[in-house]
Amino acid sequence: MTDKIKLLLAALLIVAGIAGFYYFAESAEVVRLASILAGFAAAAAIAWYTAAGQQFAGFSQEALKEAKKVVWPTRKETIQTTAIVFGFVVVMAIFLWLVDAGLLWAVKWLMGRSDT
C-alpha cells in the first residue's frame, strides 16, 4: 500500500512539474525547464524507494554488467562488414532495376505499345 502511495506522489510531482512549466509561461525558458526537471527528479527520487524502483535498479545494474561483456568488432571487421553490406545493396539495386525494366518491357509488349 505504501508503494502505491509513493508512486501516486511521484506521478503528482511529474504533473506539478509540467504545470509549473505552464505556470511560469512569462518567465525565462531556463526557469520553465528547471520546473519540469525538478518535478521529474523529485518523482524519480521518490519512485526509487518503492519495490518497483528497487527492481528497476537491480535490472539496470545487471544490464550494465552484461553490456560490459559484449565483444565489440575491430575497426577492420567493421569496415569489411560495411563494405559487404554496401556491395550487396548495389547488387540488389541493379537486380531490381533489371527486373523492373523487364516487367515494364513485358507489359508494354503485351499491350501492343512496344517501340521495337
Q: What is the pLDDT of residues 15-35, one digit of tens each?
A: 999 999 999 988 899 999 999
The answer to whether residues 35 and 24 touch, using CB atoms and an 8 Å cutoff, is yes
Q: For residues 49 and 3, what is the distance between their CA atoms, to the nearest angstrom?
A: 8
Confidence band, pLDDT 50/70/90 cuts, at residue 115? low
The answer to whether residues 24 and 36 touch, using CB atoms and an 8 Å cutoff, is no
Q: Radius of gyration (Cα) for the chain, nearest Å?
A: 29
pTM here is: 0.52
